[in-house]
Amino acid sequence: QLLKYDMQVIGKLEPQWVEFAGAAIDIGVVSVPSRRKYRVVVRNRGRNMALVHINAANLPFASLSYSENPLPPGLPRVIEIDADFTQPGEWLGTVGVSLFSQDNPDEAAEHYPIPVYARAVPRSMLD
């Protein structure tokens, strides 16, 4: 998916880099077929137990896994991203991380979108 920052160069659209202020995952260019694994570590910096929810948007190649148990204060949680590239394409999506207070579920959640960029091309294009 191309964004408003993208531009047309010699008859084709070329994505332009957009700087993100926080964490981001730049998978870069990979060959098809290929499989990669990534990890994101989140930490509960609050004083109460937290519930962690994750979701992926516009990442059809990715499956996410993590422990759904409550996260104690100060401890980390690993989110595993299994990227299985079976089709060529270019994606800009997000891994969304939301933290909810277990002690006060009505309290507003903290949301952290992590941008993810990936481009998959036939192996012959990388030779």
Residue with tokens 């903290």: 110
DSSP, residue by residue, 16-58: -----SS--EEEEEEEESEEEEEEEEEE--SSS-EEEEEEEES
Report whether pLDDT(6) > 90: no
pTM, rounded to two decimals: 0.78
Give the pLDDT confidence of 66-86 residue by residue, as tens digits.
998 999 999 999 999 999 999
Please state the rounded mean pLDDT for residues 51-71: 94
- Given this model, what pLDDT does residue 12 score? 57
Report whether pLDDT(87) > 90: yes
First to last CA, the chain: 25
Give the pLDDT confidence of 8-35 residue by residue, as tens digits.
455 555 555 556 567 889 999 999 999 9
Contact between residue 117 and residue 25 where contact means Cβ atoms under 8 Å apart:
yes
- Given this model, what pLDDT does residue 29 score? 93
Beta partners for residue 122, in sequence order: 32
Give the Å distances, CA to CA, from 75 to 43, 44, 51, 95.
6, 6, 12, 20
Give, for 123, the enclosing helix (H) or strand (E).
Answer: none
